[in-house]
Amino acid sequence: MQITRFFLNIFFCLLVILYIFALTFSVKI
């Protein structure tokens, strides 16, 4: 399914963004 792969890519990108945000947030503290 093309749609499933599309949503999977979006979810992965969001996961990476959240991971980087958490890293920078923990570094600031």
- Sorted by where each begins, the domain ranges of the chain are 1-29
- Report the pLDDT value the prediction gives residue 5, as an integer from 0 to 100: 94
Rounded Cα distance between 1 and 4, Å, is: 5
- Report the pLDDT value the prediction gives residue 28, as an integer from 0 to 100: 76
Q: What is the pLDDT of residues 7-24, one digit of tens each?
A: 999 999 999 999 999 999
pTM over 0.75, yes/no: no
Give burial (CB, 10 Å; 0-12/13-18/19+) of 3.
exposed
- Report the pLDDT value the prediction gives residue 29, as an integer from 0 to 100: 67
- Report the pLDDT value the prediction gives residue 6, as an integer from 0 to 100: 95
